[in-house]
Structure 1
């Protein structure tokens, strides 16, 4: 998941980032062809996926899981200084014998999201799966939320999701998949997360609406709402006491792991998940239910 520093990337910068990402991807594309030919048929062979916020944490897990099932993957990250992490994700995907591309940009800009979809289509020829994973978290008292921090959370947690889903509605191949990453805080309300959960909340309604609109084309749209996952994204704003409290709130007395969530995302991308659409799946060890 990515942290936004700004929310108005220009189209010119977006296009430059798309080209920059594609340049590195070219070597990966050329190197992976033989490996893919030597593998047995997999559920997502021939499919192309976009995963936002895929430089590390859950996003990396989603990208690698889709690659392991045969999908080519465009790996989005936000800032130039995280390029090395995005390249590591690309390397792990490449090991699965698929093609990869890297795209850098601020998804709080509609122009950047358009450029990302352009880059995926240019590299792979289609867009079949979109995992909207990029997110920003801020924890603190509601009364103390700075205007600029709320705007940043709004840009990545709400606007970026909307912009990407709008592009998916226009450009996703028939029988495609949209998988939006929400949060279990939407069913287990906690204090101090208003900026995060409040800007994630629209995901559920956007998911339900788009599922209804695209269902006739065989496209499914779902939301995954993870609980607390043992990653730097979760630990960043948390004290040791808060981590202990959340851990003890789960019946299994542990935090979630990336491999608790990634297989569910991968399954939703498969043809077998064709009858699951418009749903929010709460994956949190019963930390919260609805």
Structure 2
């Protein structure tokens, strides 16, 4: 028997932390990564029931998952989140920062308290999670930020939200370069109009129909569309993609 005939050792279990992992795109990412064989830490801030339901769905299918509450803008809570992941599953290989807030307003009418709350989650939270990911991800790992295609399309009333997500895009290549030599990738996915509760809330059927017709594919994206792209970017198959912002939006500008 040659060494080529010997059975290969099983690959070590990969572990993912998904912030905002209990609802919308974050939930779809949690479920997709679990289907791909990763143990998943499903982070949430307030909706414990949705987090528990997401974990139950994963474990019922034979996967591994646990819910962990943490406000992504709280550096101590996020450090504890990563501690739990390491204690329970042995390390962290994938971080998807899906937690975010959306508030729409013309800039002239913008409530600055709303701006501060949104930017606390979308900007400060992005930095807090990225900082822990940069410190903790194992070799071969990946960090994925979540932006929005509105950074490019610049729809009215999205000014504050787009500004917060532009910050996420701005740090993507910088962090990738800062992690030189670590064998860790950093990318950002920027979904277009996607049929989540966060997106649909407050929109009329006419507005939804108009937005659905914006991409050449003439439909809204689904959370599963985004999750499949996220799974590729954080997988070994996608490891040569690094420092990039990918607009997963069906072809809209």
CA distance in 2 between counterparts of 1:251 and 1:269 reads: 27
Q: Which residue of 2 aligns with 1:77?
A: 44
1:173-184 maps to which residues of 2 (within 5 A)?
Answer: 173-184=138-149
CA deviation after TM superposition for structure 1 residue 145, in Å: 1.4
CA distance in 2 between counterparts of 1:225 and 1:257 reads: 13
CA deviation after TM superposition for structure 1 residue 238, in Å: 2.1
CA deviation after TM superposition for structure 1 residue 220, in Å: 0.5
Q: Which residue of 2 aligns with 1:60?
A: 27
Please, which of 234, 240, 244 is the counterpart of residue 269 of structure 1? 234
Q: Which residue of 1 aligns with 2:193?
A: 228
CA deviation after TM superposition for structure 1 residue 150, in Å: 0.4
Aligned residues of 1:44 and 1:66 also touching (Cα < 8 A) = no
Q: Which residue of 1 aligns with 2:181?
A: 216
Q: Which residue of 2 aligns with 1:34?
A: none
CA deviation after TM superposition for structure 1 residue 98, in Å: 2.6
Aligned residues of 2:29 and 2:224 also touching (Cα < 8 A) = no
Residues 269/45 of structure 1: CA separation in 2 closer, same or farther (3 Å cut): farther
CA deviation after TM superposition for structure 1 residue 235, in Å: 0.6
Aligned residues of 1:67 and 1:96 also touching (Cα < 8 A) = no
Aligned residues of 1:113 and 1:160 also touching (Cα < 8 A) = no
Whether 2:66 is the aligned partner of 1:101: answer yes
Aligned residues of 1:45 and 1:71 also touching (Cα < 8 A) = no
Aligned residues of 1:176 and 1:219 also touching (Cα < 8 A) = yes
CA-to-aligned-CA distance 1:196-230 (integer Å, 9 cap, x gap):
11111111121111111113111000000000101
CA deviation after TM superposition for structure 1 residue 191, in Å: 0.7
Please, which of 122, 127, 149 is the counterpart of residue 92 of structure 2? 127
- The DSSP-based 3-state class of the residue aligned with 2:139 is coil
CA distance in 1 between counterparts of 2:60 and 2:187 reads: 28
CA distance in 2 between counterparts of 1:202 and 1:210 reads: 12
Q: Which residue of 2 aligns with 1:154?
A: 119
Q: Which residue of 2 aligns with 1:260?
A: 225
Between 1:170-179 and 1:246-255, the stretch displaced more is 246-255
- The DSSP-based 3-state class of the residue aligned with 1:285 is coil
Give the superposed CA RMSD.
1.6
CA-to-aligned-CA distance 1:116-172 (integer Å, 9 cap, x gap):
111111111101100000010001111111121101110111111110111111111
Whether 2:128 is the aligned partner of 1:163: answer yes
CA deviation after TM superposition for structure 1 residue 233, in Å: 1.1
CA distance in 2 between counterparts of 1:265 and 1:253 reads: 22
Report how many residues are paired: 245
CA distance in 1 between counterparts of 2:50 and 2:11 reads: 25
Instruction: For structure 2, list consecutive stretches of 5 or more residues without a partner in the other structure.
Output: 1-7
Q: Which residue of 1 aligns with 2:5?
A: none
CA-to-aligned-CA distance 1:252-275 (integer Å, 9 cap, x gap):
221111221111111112112121
- The DSSP-based 3-state class of the residue aligned with 1:217 is coil
